[in-house]
Structure 1
Amino acid sequence: MSPDVSQEATTTMPFHRLGLVGTGAMGRGIAQLAAQAGLEVVLHDAREGAVQEAREFIEGLWQRGVDKHRLSESRAEELRASLKEAERLEALADCDVVVEAIVEKLEAKQELFTRLEAILSDDAVLGTNTSSLSVTSIAAACRLPQRVIGLHFFNPVPLMKIVEVIPGLRTAPEVVDRVDALGQAMGHFTARTTDTPGFLVNHAGRAYGTEALKILGEGVTDHATIDRLLVDQGGFRMGPFSLLDLTGLDVSHAVMESIYHQYYEEPRFRPSPITRQRLNAGLLGRKSGEGFYRYVDGQAQIPDEPAAPKVAPTPVWISGEDPHACHALATVVEAAGWRLEAGELPSDQALCLLTPYGEDTTDCALRQRLDPARCVAIDMLAGLDRRRSLMTAPVTRVDYRDAAWALLGQDGTPVSSINDSNGFVLQRVVACIVNVGADIAQQGVADPETLDRAVELGLGYPRGPLAMGDHYGSRRILTILDNLFTASRDPRYRPSPWLRRRAALGLPLTTTELN
C-alpha cells in the first residue's frame, strides 16, 4: 500500500519550521508527513550521505504520486522545495520544533538535546521519537525540561495513523497542546498518554505475546495452532508467533524484558524463557530465515492441520451450565444427525460436551460429577462460526475426543484440539488483554476512548481492550480471570479493580469515573 502523498493539513499548524535529526526509516516518514502538512523540514544526520538518501526516498514517493495522478506536478515541486538539508546542527537554529529519531539510547538523546538547547531559541520545542525511554529522564539533562515532549510515531510512519503524545513530568501544558495539534495536522490520531514504561500502545500490547508464550510453555498446544485460534476465533490480524517472527526476537524480547523490569517485575508482563533461548540460538524470525516458523523465499512454512477423524455417530450430552452455549452446540448436534440426550445426567455411553470459562476440562468434569474419560470441553467465548476449539482432560479417551472432533467438523468448520488448560487459548489471551487494558485505565495512563483507539490503530487488534471486554462480556472475562487465578495462584491473572468494579455494577468498561 502506498501512502497518500496528496494529504493536506486539516488542522491549524502550530509550527512553521521543523528540524529532524536522524533520517532512517522513522525519520524519513516523519519528514514526509511534516512536509505534506505544510511545514518546512530541515534534515540532519550525523552519517554522511544519509540526508541525501532520505530526500531521494521521500521525493521518489511523491513522484510515484504524480505518476499515479494522485498528486499534481506543481504540488510535488512545492513538497520537494520544502525539504532542506542541514550539514551541521547549527543550521537548525531557526526551527521552532526539532524532533529526534536517533539511536534508542538515553545518553545519546540527552547529549543531542543539550547541544540543541545551545542552538535553538528558548521557546522552541524538543520532541523525542523514543519508543521505550522515559521522556522525563531525557528532559532531565535539559536546561528547559518544560519544552521536551515525546512524539512517538510507529513504523511505517505514513501508514500507521497514530502518534503517541507523551509529556514528561515537567513538560509545559501549552507544549502538549501544540504538539498534539502538530500530530493532528500531520494526519494522525494523537494518543495522549503518561510517561510510563511502554507508554500506551506497547504497554497495552504486553498480554498478547506473553500469554501465548505461556500457553506454549505449558505444552497446551503448538505455536501454529495458537496462531490459528487467535486469528480465526479471535479475529486478530496476525497470530502472536507470526508477529514475533515479523518483528524479530532481537527487538521483541528486549521490549518484553525492558517493560517487565521497568515495572519492577510486575507478573502481568513476565517474559518467557522460550524467547530468550531462541534469541540465543539466533532464531530471530523472518530476518534470520527461521524463528517459530521456517521461511523459504520469505514465505512461512506452516505445517498442515491434521484431518478431522471419521467416526460413527455417538450419543451426545451437553452440560446446561451455559444455556446459550448449550443451545448453540445442540444445533450442531442436530444438524449432524447425531442423537442428543436430554437428561440431567448423561448415559454411560454418551460423549459429554462441557462449556467452561477459565476452568480446565478436568475440574469442570469433576465439579459436575461426570466421568472425565468421556468429557471434552468446547470454547464458546467467540461462538462456533469460524474455528472451533476442543480441549481434553489427561484421561479423556481418544475415541471420545475423535467423536467430538468429527462432530464439530461435520459441517466443514475447522477444528483445533488442545490439551487441558484453564481457559483454552482464546479465553486466556483475551482475558489478559482486557485485564491489562483495564489496569491502564485504572492507572490513568490514558482515557478509555484513547486507549481503545490507539490499540486498534497501533496494534491492529479487532477491538481495543476495553471494547473487547464489553464485546465478550466483562463478567465472563472476570470469571475467566478468577478461575485462572484460583487454579494457578499466579498473580499475573489477578483482576484489575477497574474490571471488577464495572463488571459488578453492570457498567461498560469504557465508563469513566463520575467524580
Structure 2
Amino acid sequence: MAREFTSVAVVGLGTMGAGIVEVFARYGHNVLASDISEDAVERGRQKIIGSTDRAVAKGKLTEADRDALLARINFVVGLERLDAVDLVIEAVPEQLELKQRIFAELDRVCKPEAILATNTSSLSVTEISVATGRPNQVVGLHFFNPAPVMKLVEVVRTVVTAPDVITDVEALCAQLGKTDVTISDRAGFIANALLFGYLNHAVQMLESRYATREDIDAAMKYGCGLPMGPLALMDLIGLDTAYEILDTMYRRGGRDRRHAPVPLIKQMVTAGLLGRKSGRGFYTYEKPGSPVIVADEQTPVADSASADAARGIAKVGVVGSGTMATGIVEVFAKAGYEVVSVTRGAEKSARVRAAIENSLNKGVARGKLSEPDRDAALARVTSSANLEDLADVDLVVEAVVEELSVKKALFANFDEICKPGVVLATTTSSLPVVEVAMATQRPADVVGLHFFNPAQVMPLVEIVETIRTSAETAATARAVTAALRKVGVSCTDRSGFIVNALLFPYLNDAVKMLEANYATADDIDHAMKLGCGYPMGPFELLDVVGLDVSLAITRELYLELREPGFAPAPLLEHLVTAGYLGRKTGRGFRDYTKR
C-alpha cells in the first residue's frame, strides 16, 4: 500500500514552485512553501494569490475553496523548518551546483524517511541524488507549466531509486489529478527531449532567414494544430531557460547536434532579450511579463506594390483524383473560381464529383453552407479526362502522386498546353519544386502551393518560391491563397518546407526514443499531449499519416540536409518493410484490428 503524504514542502517559489504549491494545497495537502528570503517568499505568495483569484474570477474555484486552499499553505524562509515533512519538491533554477547544495542541506534537515524530489526538466537526477546520503529516496517529479493546469508529471527514476518510492509518488500523482509517465534518468526526459530539438530547429530556420518568425509560427499552429508556434513558445519559456535546457541536453545526450543551441539563442540571451519576462525576445511585448505582442521593426507590413503585381485568376485547373486534389477542387469552387478537374478517366472524375457533392451536402447539413451556395459551387466544376482542357486556365494546381518523375512529366505537358502567363503550382509536400519547374521552359511561372489534408478544413497553405520563381508569380500565389481565406506562409524551396521540416524530425526522434526502450508509445504520446498541449501524440500521428509516407518524407529531409540526426529510425524502416503502415493497413505502432 502506498504511503500517505500528510505534509509536503516546496523549495523555490518561482513560477513553477508557486504552481506546485497551489496544486498540493488544492488537493488538501498542508504545504510548507520555502524560499531564500522574505522578498522571494512574498513574491511567491503573490503569485499563488493571483493565480487563485483568477480561478475564482473564471468560476473554477469558489471563494471559500480559495480561502481554504490558502490556509493550508505556510510560507517560510530557508530550509530548517522542513524537518518533519514527508516529501520535499525542489523547484529552484536549473543549475546543478545549486540543486546539489540544496539537496545536501535537505538531507541534513529532513527526517530519514522523507522522500526528496527535484522538478528539474533536464538535469541529471542521479547527479543531484548523490549529493545526499539517501540517493535511493531521491526521485524526479517534473511538473509542467502552468502546474495547476497541465496534467502531466514525469516521474524520473535513477538506477538506485527504491521501487517503493516510485510506487508511492505514482500514487500521489493520481491523487493530484495528474497523469504520470515513469522513465529513467535521461537528458530531457520525454517531453523536453522531443520538444527542444524541434524548438532549436525552428530558431535555426529563423537565423538562416528561411522564413519569417510570423510564418514559422503560423505554419505550426495552423498546419499541425499546435497551441503556439515554436518561437512564441520559446518567448514564453524564456530564452535563458531554453538555452540552459538545450545546453544541458547537448552535453548529457551524446552531443547530438540537434540539441546544440543555435548561436542566435545565446546572442539574444546575452543581449537581455529573454522573451515575455523581459518584454522582448523573438517578438516584442507590451511590457515585461505581458502576453500582448506589439509591432516592432520586424513586423511585416502590407506590400501594396506586390499585391498590384499579382495576375488576375478566374479559371483554375486541378490535376489529380486523390483526396487532396478533390479537396482543392472544392476549396476553389466554393471561393468562386471556375474549376476544371482533370483526372485519368471518367470513372475517377465521377468519384471526385461524388466526393465533392458529399462534402458540400455535409456542409449544408451542418449549417455551414446554404443550398444555393452548394449548387453554385457544383456548377463551377467541370470534369475532364483530357489535359488539353487546361489550355485556357489561369492557374494549374497539380496534386498527383509524390513521385518526382511523374510530376516532371506532367509539368512538361503543362508547358506545351497552357497559355503564356499561366501560374503552374505543385502541391508537393517534400520534393524539390525547382526540379519540377525546370521540366518546363517557364520556371519563373512555377510555385509550390502546399495545401494540408483535408484541404477543405485545414487553413494553412505553404507558398514555396524557388530561385527561379518570379515576384509576380509569388504575389499571385499569395493573392490566391488570401482569396481562398487560407493562411499563407512563404518559404524558399527546401525539403519539407516549414511544417514537414520541423514535424518529421520530431516524429523520427520519438521513434528513436521508442526503439531505445526508453519509454512506451503510450507514455510518449501522453507526454506530448498532456505536457506540451499537442492535439495528437507522435505515434498517433504517425499511424494517421502513414508510416510509408512518413518514411518517404524523412528520407527526403535526410538526403537534402545530410544532418545525421535526421536519418530515418531503423524501427520505422522495419515497420514499413513489414507492411505495418498505420491505420490504413490496420497496424502500425498500434494494432487497430483488435479494437
The TM-score bracket by the shorter chain reads 0.7 to 0.9
Partner of 1:8: none
Q: Which range moves more in the overlay, 295-304 or 354-363?
A: 295-304
Partner of 1:437: 510
Q: Distance in 1 between matches of 2:59 and 2:480?
A: 55
Determine if the alignment matches structure 1 residue 120 to structure 2 residue 110: yes
TM-score (normalizing by structure 2) = 0.75
Equivalence map 1:97-108=2 (5 Å): 97-108=87-98
> Partners of 2:281 and 2:269 in 1: how far apart?
9
Distance 1:409 1:67 in 2: 39
Matched with 2:300 is 303
Question: Which residue is equivalent to 1:328?
Answer: 327
Deviation, 1:317, is 6.1
Q: What does residue 18 of structure 1 align with?
A: 8
1:57 Cα offset (Å): 5.3
CA distance in 1, matches of 2:535, 2:227: 7
Write the distance in 1 (CA, Å) between the matches of 2:151 and 2:337.
46
Q: In percent, how many aligned pairs have the same letter? A: 30
Q: Which residue of 1 aligns with 2:217?
A: 227
Give the conservation status (yes or no) of the 8 Å contact 1:314–1:339.
no
Match of 1:378 in 2: 449
**Structure 2: distance between partners of 1:172 and 1:353:** 60
Q: Partners of 2:472 and 2:430 in 1: how far apart?
A: 25
Letter matched to residue 560 of structure 2: A
Aligned residue runs from structure 1 range 22-421, under 5 A:
22-48=12-38, 50-51=40-41, 54-55=44-45, 58=48, 78-85=68-75, 89-297=79-287, 298-301=292-295, 302-304=299-301, 306=303, 310-313=310-313, 320=320, 323-332=322-331, 336-337=337-338, 342-343=386-387, 344=410, 345-346=413-414, 347=417, 349=419, 350-366=422-438, 372-384=443-455, 385-421=458-494
3-state SS of the aligned residue for 2:32?
strand
Structure 2 unmatched ranges of 5 or more: 343-385, 388-409
Distance across 2 between alignment mates of 1:80 and 1:187: 19
Residue 241 of structure 1 and its aligned partner are, at CA, apart by 1.9
Alignment-derived partner of residue 486 in structure 1? 559
- On the 8 A contact 1:451/1:464 being kept in 2, the answer is yes
1:484 to partner: Cα distance: 1.3
Q: Following TM superposition, by how much is the alpha carbon of 1:193 offset from its aligned partner in structure 2, in angstroms?
A: 2.1
Per-residue CA deviations over 1:353-402 (Å, capped at 9, x if unaligned) read 22323222113445x67753332222244443312122122112344444
- 1:477 aligned partner: 550
TM-superposed CA distance for 1:165, in Å, is: 0.8
Q: Which protein has greater RCO, CA pairs closer than 8 Å, 6+ apart? A: 1
* Stretch deviating more after TM superposition (235-244 or 164-173): 235-244
Q: CA deviation at 1:43?
A: 3.2
Q: CA, structure 1 residues 83+411, in 2 after alignment: closer, same or farther (shift >3 Å)?
A: closer
Deviates more, 1:412-421 or 1:175-184: 412-421
Q: Give a deviation string over 1:39-76, Cα, whole Å, max 9, x none.
A: 22233333135446645654676677778886667756
TM-aligned CA deviation for residue 470 of structure 1: 2.6
Q: Is the 8 A contact 2:240 2:274 kept in 1?
A: yes
1:300 CA drift (Å): 2.9
Change (3 A) 1:47 1:497: same
Q: SS of 1:118's equivalent?
A: helix
8 Å Cα contact 1:234-1:382 kept in structure 2: no
For the residues of structure 2 that align with 1:247 and 1:315, how far apart are their CA atoms? 47
Question: Is residue 20–residue 27 contact of structure 1 (8 Å, CA) maintained in 2?
Answer: yes
Asked if the contact 1:438–1:509 (Cα under 8 Å) also holds between the matched residues in 2, the reply is no
Distance 1:374 1:102, change over 3 A: closer
Write the distance in 2 (CA, Å) between the matches of 1:401 and 1:65: 47
Distance (Å, rounded) in 2 between the aligned partners of 1:111 and 1:278: 30
Cα shift at 1:337: 1.6
Q: 1:66 to 1:483 in 2, by over 3 A?
A: closer
Distance 1:275 1:150 in 2: 27
- Distance in 2 (CA, whole Å) between partners of 1:79 and 1:136 is 34
Question: Using the alignment, how far apart are the partners of 1:305 and 1:260 within structure 2?
Answer: 40
Deviations 1:21-45 (A, max 9, x none): 2233322222222223232223333
Deviation string, structure 1 residues 311-351 (Cα, Å, up to 9, x no partner): 2348766665x843334344455651256674352125353
CA contact (8 A) 2:37 2:78 kept: no
User: Structure 2 CA distance, aligned partners of 1:261 and 1:482?
Assistant: 27
Q: 1:370 to 1:326 in 2, by over 3 A?
A: farther
Would you say the 8 A contact 1:358–1:481 is kept in 2? no
CA 1:171–1:408: 2 relative to 1, 3 Å: same
TM-score of the aligned structures, taking structure 1 as reference length: 0.86
CA contact (8 A) 2:7 2:85 kept: yes
Q: In structure 1, give the amino acid aligned to 2:581.
A: G
1:365 to 1:299, Cα distance in 2 relative to 1, 3 A: closer
Q: Does 1:511 align with 2:512?
A: no
Code of the residue aligned with 1:112 in structure 2: it is: I
User: Which ranges of structure 1 fall in alignment gaps of 5 or more residues?
Assistant: 1-10
Aligned pairs, how many? 500
Q: Distance in 2 between matches of 1:75 and 1:407?
A: 54
| Structure 1 residue 194, shift from structure 2 partner | 1.9
Write the letter of the residue equivalent to 2:264: I
CA separation of 1:375 and 1:38: change in aligned 2, threshold 3 A: same
Q: CA RMSD in A?
A: 3.2
* Aligned-partner Cα distance in 2 for 1:39–1:288: 34
Report what 1:3 is aligned to: none
Q: Is the 8 A contact 2:424 2:445 kept in 1?
A: yes
Task: For residues 236-295 of structure 1, give each alpha carbon's deviation from its aligned partner in whole angstroms, at most 9, with x where no partner exists.
Answer: 211222222233322223322322232232133343223233333333333344332233
Cα pair 2:314 2:338 within 8 Å, conserved: no
Is the Cα–Cα contact under 8 Å of residues 92 and 119 in structure 1 kept in the other structure?
Answer: yes
Read off the aligned partner of 1:267 and give its amino acid letter. Answer: R
Does 448-457 or 413-422 show the bigger shift?
413-422
Task: Mark the CA change 1:306 to 1:269 in structure 2 (over 3 Å): closer, same or farther.
Answer: farther
- Mapped to 2, the partners of 1:254 and 1:375 lie a distance apart of 43
Is contact 1:449-1:510 (8 Å) kept?
no
